[in-house]
A and B are shown apart, each in its own frame.
Chain A
Amino acid sequence: MNPLDFLLWVAFPYAAMAVFVVGHLLRYRHDQFGWTSRSSQTYENRLLRWGSPMFHYGILMVLGGHIVGLLVPKEWLEFFGVTEEIYHVGATSLGSVAAALTLAGLAILIYRRRLNTRVLLATTVMDKIMYLLLGATLLFGTVATVLFQVFGAGYDYRGSISPWVRGLLSAQPDPALMSDVPLFFQLHVLSATLLFLLWPFTRLVHVFSAPLAYFVRPYIVYRSRDGHRGSGSRKARRGWEKSELPASARDREATRR
């Protein structure tokens, strides 16, 4: 086994997975206050009104496509009569629409973020890194699709990348599956892995607060004062520690009394 292959297609993905899971758990436990989408809609809405839904709906379609393409084995779909040909046409056409929507949305969002001073000043370094990785992942994926699926003969990633992903998830990684995959697909996978690695430390955590419980809860929520989550002797979460007077101020207070 090629050590580089092992590093790129086994060690790195597992490291990213570990950071992804542990990072989310730790952040959820310790940084509820920072867990938000940090919307910039109040600064500017004319561009966001178009860019944000385009990007978000596009990326949800992309997510759906990836679930079908990567997690559902080829044989299962064929059992239901979805042949390689049908799948290829469907995936490429739907995928192209989704990619166009997502990329156009992202372009509007990045344009807005760069050129609107209010939004730019509210952008953190982590936001910028995240945008770079997200954009790179989307671009590599689109380029690969355009080169191989739209204009090329069609690359059957369900014979290589998909089993590799399922192997990773079922703890039977096979780096050999990835070594002969075309470069743009490899770049797409690597940049996505890096994005997953950084995910828990970005605003992307808001993906996991999709408020689906809203469908089932009653409209008016009552909570008891005593049931406040912050009460009790539990250690305060990050950002919620009890503040202390500076030592000098405490001394002065003592003398004043």
Chain B
Amino acid sequence: MRVMAQMSMIMNLDKCIGCHTCSVTCKQVWTNRTGVEYVWFNNVETKPGVGYPRRYEDQEKWKGGWIRNKRGRLKLRSGGRLKRLATIFNNPDLPVIDDYYEPWTYDYDMLTTAPLSTESPVARPKSLLTGKNMDIKWSGNWDDDLGGSQETAADDPILATMSEHVKMEFENTFMFYLPRICEHCLNPACVAACPSGAMYKREEDGIVLVDEDGCRGWRMCVSACPYKKVYFNHKTGKAEKCTLCYPLIEQGKPTICSETCVGRLRYLGLMLYDADAVLAAASIENDQDLLEAQRGVFLDPFDPAVIAAAKAGGIEDDWILAAQNSPIYKLISEYKVALPLHPEYRTMPMVWYIPPLSPVVDVISTTNNDGEDARTLFAAIDKLRIPVEYLAGLFSAGDVVPVESSLRKLAAMRSYMRDINLGLDRDESIPAAVGMTGVEIEAMYRLLAIAKYEDRYVIPKAHVETARELENLACSLDTDGGPGMGGPATAAGPYGKTPGMPLNATVDNYNEMVGKGGERTKPTTPGRVNLLNWTGGGVPEGMFPPKATGSPA
């Protein structure tokens, strides 16, 4: 047994209102730069829908993830080592930028500088790749809220695999939102596909990162990731991906997407797992057994044998404590309400989801039945095959049993807690019907519905004392075109260089960024221009900080 710790996330889809705040704040922090205009480390998809990039779930086409070959061994779907190097001159499975979308800006300048005329001036969309006028035909969430999905929903790869009785009739349809980040898999296909060995999984917390110095731009990670969560920076020619905001995580703080989530639906915490068991679990024969196999890889942080092995493996006491308090462990292993996204890709993803009960509740409510009554809900879960089968296509390789079980627990919680809140007698038959006790249901309710900040985020700090010289660490992303954005002021790209507060991602100098009274320092250039939308014409005021002489203090 080789015990390793994995920082993991769970999203409670029932609470997601599709506001895209996570996507926007993530973009402002990480991909607000030339070269990654089209990149969303965090995106929110409406399901059913084609996703971002378009149809990324269609592995027949993109060849992402792993498959089990005839001899029972795991291999990358895109081919073995020899094939990878033979196709290195042109990656046959790489999505082009149009599969995401062509990034654009608007000719805002026209609005203020157009000569006097009878017509109002119009800010035309301009491609950020060519600078030419363009027609906007697609973007990161073009089918948001099922917009236009009469046209596109039929392309949803999950919908296509479902049986014929599924019709996308607009008035009878259901929908929910699926926020996605990098899965920080236990068996990452992107890492396995990187010819340069520049991608790695961090031993301490399992975060999957790209070594920007070691990356040679072969793009194999982009196509090998079945979730298409590794992106190609077309300016620097290097791969970039969600970092799970490791500079924040190392300080014991939640990621930007979690911190700013208005629905408070994200959970962060550790999972202990047996690294030696991962390969065997990922190679199990039947796709539908993968969920149980992955649950089997996780270790019980209360088990004395696990604790001893973890300590022997160098995991500190506070980390073991954090693993014991982890909301992730509770939701995955104790309550078993969280499910992985597409376990059939065999990458052992570590961002799990609590499936949404709301499509079911909505249907009941429209029929004037009591949408919070346990019996009605249980019956509806059994009866409403379409949402359940669709959810099973996402979270359990098509097996409806785990999805049903999870939904029934959520329904039981809803109805049991309603009785308590209305001052009625506790109906202990409800928790019993889903194999739980009333105490467990209440604890789950505290975690899912009350969802206190300290319950959602149980993040142990990184051990700086072992990183002797961390204070000298220059931020490895802090370079021209790099996500740190504070790189040297070298020549700007064709669309300008994006400025920002210089951020050195270390635990120690975080305190320098915070004022003495604990208040955050303001951006160094208040009133600065948002260069994301700057087309490169002229030097607008506020682009550079004021000169030292005669500047207002």
Contact A249–B131 (Cβ < 8 Å): no
Shortest CB distance B409–A (Å):
34
Shortest CB distance B472–A (Å):
5
**B462: nearest chain-A partner, CB-CB:** A225
Of A42, A121, A226, A255, which is in contact with the most chain B CB atoms at under 10 Å from its CB? A42
Contact B90–A225 (Cβ < 8 Å): no
B120: Cβ under 8 A from any A Cβ: no
Q: Which of B186-194, B325-333, B451-459 contacts A (4 or more CB under 8 A)?
A: B186-194
Contact A41–B94 (Cβ < 8 Å): yes
A231: Cβ under 8 A from any B Cβ: yes
| Contact for B502 among A53, A244, A252, CB less than 8 A | A244
Chain B, interface size: which category?
A: 35 or more
Cα of A40 to Cα of B234 in the assembled complex, Å: 7
Cα of A243 to Cα of B474 in the assembled complex, Å: 9
Contact B237–A214 (Cβ < 8 Å): no
Q: Using Cβ atoms and an 8 Å threshold, which residues of chain B touch A35?
A: 216
**B204: nearest chain-A partner, CB-CB:** A225
Q: Using Cβ atoms and an 8 Å threshold, which residues of chain B touch A215?
A: 81-82, 85
Contact A45–B553 (Cβ < 8 Å): no
B236: Cβ under 8 A from any A Cβ: yes
Contact A121–B545 (Cβ < 8 Å): no
A111: Cβ under 8 A from any B Cβ: no
| Contact for A41 among B91, B196, B525, CB less than 8 A | B91
Shortest CB distance A200–B (Å):
15
Cα of A52 to Cα of B219 in the assembled complex, Å: 14
Q: Using Cβ atoms and an 8 Å threshold, which residues of chain B touch A122?
A: 234-235
**A38: nearest chain-B partner, CB-CB:** B237
**When A49-B90, A211-B195, A214-B84 are in contact, do A222 and B201 touch as well, CB less than 8 Å?**
yes
Shortest CB distance B83–A (Å):
11
Cα of A24 to Cα of B548 in the assembled complex, Å: 40
| Contact for A43 among B96, B216, B551, CB less than 8 A | B96
**When A39-B219, A225-B202, A243-B486 are in contact, do A220 and B548 touch as well, CB less than 8 Å?**
no
Q: Using Cβ atoms and an 8 Å threshold, which residues of chain B touch A243?
A: 478, 484, 486-488, 502, 504
A253: Cβ under 8 A from any B Cβ: yes
**When A33-B479, A231-B467, A231-B470 are in contact, do A211 and B202 touch as well, CB less than 8 Å?**
no
Contact B548–A248 (Cβ < 8 Å): yes
Q: Which of A12-20, A137-145, A189-197, A234-242 contacts B (4 or more CB under 8 A)?
A: A234-242
Interface mask (B210-250 → A, CB under 8 Å = 1, otherwise 0): 01111111110000000000001011111000000000001
A213: Cβ under 8 A from any B Cβ: yes
Shortest CB distance B194–A (Å):
8
Interface mask (B456-482 → A, CB under 8 Å = 1, otherwise 0): 000000100011011011111011101
Contact A43–B129 (Cβ < 8 Å): yes
Contact A256–B212 (Cβ < 8 Å): no
**B239: nearest chain-A partner, CB-CB:** A36
Contact A209–B216 (Cβ < 8 Å): yes
A-B contact sample (18 more), CB < 8 A, given A38-B237, A42-B219, A248-B545: A33-B479, A39-B217, A42-B96, A44-B96, A45-B96, A211-B218, A214-B85, A214-B197, A215-B81, A217-B197, A220-B187, A225-B250, A225-B462, A230-B474, A240-B474, A240-B476, A246-B548, A252-B553
B residues contacting A by CB (< 8 A) are 81-82, 84-85, 87-92, 94-97, 129-132, 187-188, 191-192, 194-197, 199-205, 211-219, 232, 234-238, 250, 462, 466-467, 469-470, 472-476, 478-480, 482, 484, 486-488, 494, 502, 504, 515-516, 521-522, 524-525, 545-548, 551, 553
Nearest 9 CB-CB pairings of A with B: A211-B195, A243-B486, A38-B237, A219-B192, A32-B213, A36-B217, A243-B502, A36-B237, A56-B89
Q: Return 22 A-B CB contacts under 8 Å, by A number.
A: A37-B216, A37-B237, A49-B90, A57-B89, A118-B97, A211-B197, A214-B195, A219-B191, A220-B188, A221-B191, A223-B203, A239-B480, A239-B487, A241-B474, A242-B504, A243-B486, A246-B524, A247-B548, A248-B548, A249-B525, A255-B553, A256-B522
